[in-house]
Structure 1
Amino acid sequence: MNYLKMVIFTSVLSLAGGVSSVFAQSPFNEMPRGEYVVDLSHASVVWKVSHLGLSSYVARFADFEAAIDYDTSDITNSTVTAKINPMSIQTAYPNAKEKDFDNILATDESWFNAGEFASIDFVSTSIEMTGDKTAVMIGELTFLGVSKPVSLDVEFNGAMLRQPFSGKPTMGFSATTTIQRTNWGMSKYAPNIGDEVEVMIEGEFVKTDG
């Protein structure tokens, strides 16, 4: 469904009685068990880091994959995996194409060193529910060849047994974490370019057919 058709469809539903009453949410413990994969058209991995204490420099990764092995009976038994392509950095740096700034960040040995380390990997090791729709997820982050545990604050945004546009079971999550990049060996310009990196993740996960 293209964008124009989606807008028209949503407008018709709104006039017919309200989108909220038509696009019904489902409790996450009623979602089917199994594998869910991230929908890149409704997902983002954004990070920001302090620049000289004057501003926060914001960038994103445009190419990544993630999956949830979802346990309906006990969400804490679920597992999450993700892989990020460091070559997909997008900084919106002025004249980035002319200066090749994104490629420099991705490939420079003092930064993401994608020539030697082609992916940034995450595997969850535990999930602890902290509320009806919140959790703390612990996992192993492998970055620049170093593996260390990280903790993410996760919020369950909602779920649909039948997402109206795809027709498939879909769940949505937000997650945040803060890491110290020097712990993974990225120390260039620290602390003037901040050691702490805040990561913000948004994602819709769609049930696979398997």
Structure 2
Amino acid sequence: MPAGKYTLDLTHASIVWKVSHFGLSNYVARFTDFDAIIEFNPNNIEKSKVTASINPMSVQTAYPNAEEKDFDNILATDKGWFNAKAFPRIEFQSTSINMLTDDTAKMSGNLVFLGVSKAVELDVTINGAMPSQPFSRKPTMGFSASTVIKRSDWGLDKYLPHIGDDVEVMIEGEFSKGPDD
């Protein structure tokens, strides 16, 4: 794959998270507005860089009648939850990538959430890469990543322990290189 900047194809990407609800089930939600860029170094993949940004106002839940109760907006704006009015972005910047096999890696980075920056580590799977994706005709690569964070580490402790502290985050993404990158 050629070196350079690869941008996220939001049509083929998702950020889904789940958290325990009273230990009875895992509540699942997603973000729909986010972006990420990979500065890809094919000569030394471990020197590649990843940055990402999430709009917390884009949280979507499967809460019944969420529109009527405005649940997604409450979750996004409430000071005890995502507090998006005060903190309109969730940011990630990689600090290292450690290749474990040809298609798996550990990526470390800083996650800035609710104004607090903490180190996180993601398990990354390289799903594949194409020098010319059949539809876009651009170099394209795809990844899956996951991590578990403790929400209380960022000060989000509303309803602990009834709503779990561990939040599993699952990420899917395809990235393509532009003609000028």
Q: TM-score w.r.t. structure 1 length?
A: 0.85
User: Structure 2 residue aligned with 1:164, among 134, 139, 147?
Assistant: 134
What secondary structure is seen at the aligned counterpart in 1 of 2:76? Answer: helix
**2:140 corresponds to which letter in structure 1?**
T
> Percent identity at matched positions?
67
Structure 1 residue 104 corresponds to structure 2 residue 79: no
Within-5 A mapping of 1:23-38: 31-38=1-8
Cα separation, 2, equivalents of 1:207 and 1:92: 34
Question: Greater Rg, structure 1 or structure 2?
Answer: 1
Residue 49 of structure 1 corresponds to which residue in structure 2? 19
Give the C-alpha shift of residue 191 in structure 1.
Answer: 1.3
User: Structure 2 residue aligned with 1:152, among 122, 126, 151?
Assistant: 122
Residue 95 of structure 1 corresponds to which residue in structure 2? 65
Residue 144 of structure 2 corresponds to which residue in structure 1? 174
User: Structure 1 residue aligned with 2:102, among 132, 153, 175?
Assistant: 132
Cα separation, 2, equivalents of 1:190 and 1:170: 41
Cα separation, 2, equivalents of 1:199 and 1:120: 13
**What are the ranges of 5 or more consecutive residues in structure 2 without an aligned counterpart?**
none
What secondary structure is seen at the aligned counterpart in 2 of 1:164? Answer: coil
Q: What root-mean-square deviation, in Å, do the aligned CA atoms of Structure 1 and Structure 2 show?
A: 0.5
Cα separation, 2, equivalents of 1:191 and 1:56: 14
Give the C-alpha shift of residue 132 in structure 1.
Answer: 1.1
Cα separation, 2, equivalents of 1:163 and 1:128: 26
Cα separation, 2, equivalents of 1:185 and 1:169: 40
User: Structure 1 residue aligned with 2:52, among 74, 82, 85?
Assistant: 82
C-alpha distance after superposition, 1:162-207 (max 9, x if no partner): 1011111000000000000000000000111000000000000010
Runs ≥4 residues deviating over 6 A: none
Q: How many residues align?
A: 180
If each structure's strand is expressed as a fraction of its own residues, which one has the higher value?
2
If each structure's helix is expressed as a fraction of its own residues, which one has the higher value?
1
What secondary structure is seen at the aligned counterpart in 1 of 2:72? Answer: helix
Give the C-alpha shift of residue 208 in structure 1.
Answer: 2.0
Structure 1 residue 205 corresponds to structure 2 residue 175: yes
Give the C-alpha shift of residue 134 in structure 1.
Answer: 0.2
What secondary structure is seen at the aligned counterpart in 1 of 2:42? Answer: coil
What secondary structure is seen at the aligned counterpart in 2 of 1:102? Answer: helix
Cα separation, 1, equivalents of 2:158 and 2:19: 13
Cα separation, 2, equivalents of 1:190 and 1:138: 27
